[in-house]
Amino acid sequence: MSETIFSKIIDREIPADIVYEDDQCLAFRDINPQAPVHFLVIPRKPIAKLSDADEGDKDLLGHLLLVAGQVAREQGLEDFRLNVNNGAGASQTVFHLHVHVLGGRPFSWPPG
Ligand code: 5GP
């Protein structure tokens, strides 16, 4: 996978407001927040998009969701939305898997 802005954040080549990290993943605030709280949870492993993950990534994917929920609670969120854009046609712009976590305002359904 080619290097992305997120691999540079992992490698500390560019700064980010990191709110959580462990040996498998990082969570940091989105530079262009779409809600009062908006952070991204990314694996250290460079998976370009969700549909590139395989059976061997099962524990990692579960971990990303657990961290998303845990950090959301730490950020004071009770209700929040998770979003994963998979592919350019679904508005993915950074090709390093990431889970958006948004909260602090009402959300409607269906999404735009
Ligand atoms: P996507 O559209 O790929 O699902 O989401 C990519 C997200 O990454 C966008 O919400 C965008 O604002 C965020 N983003 C892009 N570049 C940077 C950056 O350099 N730092 C941070 N913190 N977020 C970024």
| CATH number, residue 30 | 3.30.428.10
Q: What are phi and psi of 42, to 5 degrees?
A: -130, 145
- Mean pLDDT score across all residues of the chain: 97
Residue 72 lies in a domain: yes
**Which residue blocks in the chain are alpha helix, DSSP H?**
5-10, 58-74
- State which ligand 1 atom lies nearest to the alpha carbon of 85: 4
**Domain span holding position 24:** 5-103
* Of the candidates 2, 102, 92, the residue with the CA atom closest to the CA atom of residue 49: 92
Do β-strands 25-29 and 18-21 pair in parallel, antiparallel, or remain unpaired?
Answer: antiparallel
Q: How many domains does the chain have?
A: 1
Specify the pLDDT at position 5.
Answer: 98
| Assigned domain for 109 exists | no
CA 33 to ligand 1 center in whole angstroms: 9
Residues with CB under 6 A from ligand 1: 5, 16, 28-32, 85, 91-94
pLDDT tens digit sequence for 26-76 = 999 999 999 999 999 999 999 999 999 999 999 999 999 999 999 999 999
Cα(19) to centroid of ligand 1, in Å?
A: 15
Confidence of residue 1 (pLDDT cuts 50, 70, 90): low
- Tokens representing 65? 């969701």
